[in-house]
Structure 1
Amino acid sequence: MSQPNPYASPGSVDPHVERVPEPTWARVLSRLQDLLLNIWPMMLGVLVVLCLPWQLLLSFVIYTFLEQEEVMSLVYVSLLGTFGQLTVQLLAEALVIAAAWQHLQKETLDVSAAIGRGLRGFVAVFPSMLLSFMAISAAMILCIFPGVYLNIRWMFALPIAVAEGRGGLHPLQKSWEITEPHFFYSMLMFALFCIPLVVVMVVTSLPSALMPEIDHWVIDGTLTTVGDLFTLIVCCGFTVAYYELLLSQVVPATALPQSPHFNQ
């Protein structure tokens, strides 16, 4: 069976090309496994260079300031944790997604090209991610279900930003458009990756909670980095799920990446 071109010109789909079957969780997991086996050096580098130093610094600051038991100390820690976590984690995710997108295009891993693409995607998507973070946080506080719903509708925003290199509200808008006719598929992908992530986050927080004698900022920072690793895997899973939608041509042609290749 001939394969469709997932990078066709916007607004046009070749009527003579057969469509690949609609994406399934089994095909997404199979492609994700192959992806992780090929981009693990990039993922490991991001963890060592970005995630681990940041989590150790944040953990040290939290332990230091919380000992003072002052209101302003709590405010400073909250602001640092929120803004820093959003920035560092988002940058790490953008870099890994860039490498993942490179592999999905069947290109050899080019670290410098992936870093360049990831940085551009990070700059482009930061305003959208900041807006979505505030909206989702408010929705989760009011009621957990609206927050989960927004997470599902915007789950492809970062892969779209990295793949297309477009900023503003475009990633959020495009993700909303893509998930609308394929909400069940998007919800399945969200549950498939995020439920294990929640389990990992809970497990990594247990040692300090259950064994106070080992409670230390180095241990906490290291365990949190393990959670960051699984977060990057989830981002790769979302990227593969998005790519499968493109490959099957079940999304509008206008949703296809305008500049899919890093070397253009």
Structure 2
Amino acid sequence: MFSGLSAFPLTPLRDGQVDKPAFARLVERLATAQVDSICTLGSTGNYAYLEREERKRIARLAIQHAGEVPVIIGVGALSTRDALALAEDAQKAGASAVLLAPVSYQKLTADEVFGLFETVDRALSVPLVVYDNPSTTHFDFSDELHARIARLPHVASIKIPPVPADPAAAKARVDGLRSQLPSHVTIGISGDAAAATGLAAGCQVWYSVIGGLFPETTLAITRAAQAGNTDESARLSARLEPLWALFRQYGSLRVVAAAAELRGDAQHPSLPAPLKALEGHDRDRLSALLDKLNLA
């Protein structure tokens, strides 16, 4: 579960409400493709915009339609109280693991973040994935804090931000963190454009945005890296550079939502207001790109 490809599906909306049939179809596609895990209610899953009851229903729906594929449920929330309630809901629904981000309005201190993870960890009977995503949480983990959190009983994996583009620098980054973690805690790469580099540098899992929509494409990159064919993994990733460029310009969520709408996997608009998927010329660019790349 904490190696290979972890696919993060979109939580599409329809008329402002969770589109449960569309979400179920996305999860079923991932199960059919045999991704290594499915992570719902991460940033791609719009967790921060959904109420507790909506998140509870999404957790149950994901587990119902995932078949034998393990399901990781995001439980990040502004308060520790709410994160605990969401963790309880996820475990009752049958989650294989939970994903926790240090969400905040006021900027958190390292001690506050450790306290959050320590408190939630005590309430768990399933593994915990640490969600290190400073672009959304505005909190920067130090390696020392990662090491401290990784010693908590249920921590099984750490999702880190993109590694440097230079392979040597990427390996140094991963090796430096690896040296401070217990051996059973895996390191996962996020930021899809950096995935091939991160996997080649020693990351064991790709926590993937596009994996939630195009599992076969991302599995090909992942399996090549796992087989030691890093040149092929890099080649397959480089082919997607026009998509990575859109990610950098507009954010992966807006691009993936537009892609889902263009493919008929979600109704327009599929994002919670005020967020908007790509529109106008940029949407046309994406449509042409999807036709050219023939992603699956």
Superposition TM-score, scaled by structure 2 size: 0.24
Of structures 1 and 2, the larger Rg is shown by 1
TM-score, normalised on structure 1?
0.26
Greater relative contact order: 1 or 2 (C-alpha under 8 angstroms, separation 6 or more)? Answer: 1
- Larger strand percent: 2
